[in-house]
Amino acid sequence: MKIHEYQARDLLASYGIPTNSGQVARTPEEAKSIAAGIGKQVVIKAQVHTGGRGKAGGVKLAGNPDEAFEKASAILGMDIKGFTVDRVLVADAVDIGQEIYLGFTISRDDASIVLILSAAGGVDIEEVAASTPEKIAKVLIDPTVGLQPFQIRQAMFEAKIDKQYHKAMGDIIRKLYSAYVGSDAELAEINPLCITTDGQVLAIDAKMTIDDNALYRQTELLGLREAGADMDEYEKLAKEEGLTYVHLPGGNVGIAGNGAGLVMTTMDVVKRAGGSPNNFLDFGGSATQEGVEKGLRAILRDPDVQGIFINVFGGITRTDVVAKGIVEAYDTLPRQVPIVIRLTGTREEIAKEILDNCGKPLVFAASMWEGAQKIVELIGKGAAGA
């Protein structure tokens, strides 16, 4: 479960982490009156369950209450990566000297918690991670032992944090770890952890994701759950249509199949082939023509989708019927993109013949790996994200 920045800030503050103060507004009038109360420059920040708000225009400075009204009007109602902004945080603006990235998350490969620290924090952290990973210090923490003081020092030395801030920052790292473990978080991130021009270390953003399986014992956090708040507009529409669909914004390959396990595996295999999955879509046990058509329409809503990989395990399902259905549906789809179809099961030779001879960019694949490679070949690798 994701929580909003203002909720995460409250949580971090309760662990003693210093943040700039602020309040939530749902209308421009409220934003104006909060700004008047603060009495100096404020920052107006969209509160949505997604990152990258700054780049999307969802974070703006306002010098006075009238400007706060204006900036809040612009941000409220804005769409950020499929999420509509219904509230903003109005916070005391800070004079930034340096932006640090600090986070804790789980490293599944290492069966550990990982502390991540970088002096090159801020809105371009993904770019830093991709092009200069050496600027990011990572320290693995055995969860049964907990974070040790030497590990905090190690991270600060590796990240080349100026020594004069070690004490304040070390304290924040220790407290963030307590907050992370104490709230059963999967991710706790402060980006930026700001060193102000007058030398204070302050959290001016906060992002937390709580492990859903632990919510039974996180009763206070459970109260922050908002129905549908984790869903973007694509997911909401798909849900209304009765589809099992999860969106992965930024990807370029639509993914569909029958059975959740098969679809998840398909996503992994496409990723391994160098592609970037845009979604998860499960047709359910039987891939009927109507179901397949409805699913393809939902996938194609995102203009980033440049091709689709359908992976159907036929079993006793007649794969020739599925193939025919896809061929017939193809021309009625809102956009015609290449589709690779892996069909295995009853009458698959006939399914292959139907696809080979249909005169449309529908490509038969005999195996999941072949299909993943084919779709990536057809449309390219796409964005690195997702």
Rg (CA), the chain: 24
Q: Which of 28, 103, 192, 371 binds ligand GDP (CB under 6 A)?
A: 192
The yes or no reply on residue 78 touching ligand GDP (CB under 6 A) is no
Question: Residue 52 binds which entry of ligand GDP, Mn ion, none, with Cβ cut-offs from 5 to 8 Å by kind?
Answer: ligand GDP
Name the residue among 179, 181, 155 with its Cα closest to residue 169: 155
Token output for 56: 């999307």
Q: Which of 25, 31, 34, 93 binds ligand GDP (CB under 6 A)?
A: 93
Looking at 50-58, 260-268, 269-277, 336-344, which segment touches ligand GDP (CB under 6 A)? 50-58
The yes or no reply on residue 82 touching ligand GDP (CB under 6 A) is no
Task: Tell me how far CA of residue 311 lies from CA of 274, 366, 368, 370, in angstroms.
Answer: 17, 10, 7, 11
Looking at 89-97, 100-108, 184-192, 270-278, which segment touches Mn ion (CB under 5 A)? 184-192
Site string for Mn ion, 116-135 (x = CB under 5 A): --------------------
Residue 118 or 191 having the CB closest to Mn ion:
191
Residue 88 or 368 having the CB closest to Mn ion:
88
For residue 227, what are the contacts with CB-CB under 8 A and spacing of at least 6? none
Q: How far is the CB of 383 from Mn ion (least distance, A)?
A: 20
- Residue 5 is given by DSSP the state H
Looking at 48-56, 165-173, 177-185, 371-379, which segment touches ligand GDP (CB under 6 A)? 48-56
Cross-strand bridge partners of residue 356: none
Task: Tell me how far CA of residue 59 lies from CA of 4, 44, 205, 225, in angstroms.
Answer: 14, 6, 11, 24
What type of residue sits at position 327? V
Q: Which residues are catalytic?
A: 101, 189
Task: Tell me how far CA of residue 74 lies from CA of 4, 29, 61, 204, 272, in angstroms.
Answer: 20, 13, 12, 21, 41
Number of residues that bind ligand GDP (CB under 6 A): 17
The yes or no reply on residue 205 touching ligand GDP (CB under 6 A) is yes
* Helix/strand/coil (H/E/C) assignment for every residue in 162-213: CHHHHHHHHHHHHHHHHHHHHCCEEEEEEEEEEEECCCCEEECCCEEEECHH
Q: Which of 78, 96, 181, 248 binds ligand GDP (CB under 6 A)?
A: 96
The yes or no reply on residue 60 touching ligand GDP (CB under 6 A) is no
Q: Which of 1, 12, 35, 43 binds ligand GDP (CB under 6 A)?
A: 43
- Residue 277 is given by DSSP the state B
* Rounded Cα distance, 311 and 339, in Å: 11
Question: Residue 147 binds which entry of Mn ion, ligand GDP, none, with Cβ cut-offs from 5 to 8 Å by kind?
Answer: none
In which element (H, E) is residue 314 found? strand 307-318
Q: Which of 4, 9, 53, 175 binds ligand GDP (CB under 6 A)?
A: 53
Q: Which of 30, 205, 232, 320 binds Mn ion (CB under 5 A)?
A: 205
Residue with tokens 């969106």: 247
Judged on CB neighbours under 10 Å (0-12, 13-18, 19+), 271 is middle
Site string for Mn ion, 278-297 (x = CB under 5 A): --------------------
Question: Residue 99 binds which entry of ligand GDP, Mn ion, none, with Cβ cut-offs from 5 to 8 Å by kind?
Answer: ligand GDP
The yes or no reply on residue 320 touching Mn ion (CB under 5 A) is no
* Rounded Cα distance, 208 and 183, in Å: 9
Residue 2 or 297 having the CB closest to ligand GDP:
2
Q: Which residues bind Mn ion (CB under 5 A)?
A: 191, 205
Q: Which residues bind ligand GDP (CB under 6 A)?
A: 43, 45, 51-54, 59, 93-94, 96, 99, 122-123, 191-192, 204-205
